[in-house]
Copies of this chain bind each other. A is one copy, B any other.
């Protein structure tokens, strides 16, 4: 660590940048999105609040950096299983999606919380989010190629699947799942999806 000056002697401490993102993520997980203030993060990272503006331009820029990690984690979760059976792969992907959201609820809420995404670093954020979605599209293409899923526009099918699973975990995180066993209800949803797509 402390790998200072990567290219030229410029940029004396990219380590500070890393420390700030780590601190922001730590505060996010520990105290929630509302507690992620510039002052709190800077203190946690052992830096002055100005550091956030020097490195990320704004608070949104810093949060974007955290969310990039979140979308990368989501993509990893969705891509984790590569069962040769297309339907099994899709189901595993759906279950991993929920596992990710429930395991990193603060991340998920910040990523999809409805409030306008940070404008600072929005393009990078969009790229990482799209990459996660593309992993799902790949699973759909795989299923269609193997004849396990009805033919159709893979993008549209993936969007439909994403809508469903996102809605389910979103409601669950918001405490709006009224059934006694949310896991079982989620499983019903997955089964309904694959049944409708076959």
Contact = CB atoms under 8 A, between A and B. Distances in A.
- In the complex, the count of this chain's copies comes to 2
A91 B105 CA distance: 32
Interface stretch (A16-24, A57-65, A138-146, A163-171): A163-171
Contact of A114 (B130, B156, B170, B195): B170
A188 B156 contact: yes
Nearest to A157: B188
A171 B162 contact: yes
A158 to B, nearest CB: 8
A4 to B, nearest CB: 37
A156 B183 CA distance: 11
Given A164-B164, A164-B167, A165-B167, A178 B192 contact: no
Nearest to A174: B114
Contacts of A166: 167, 170-171
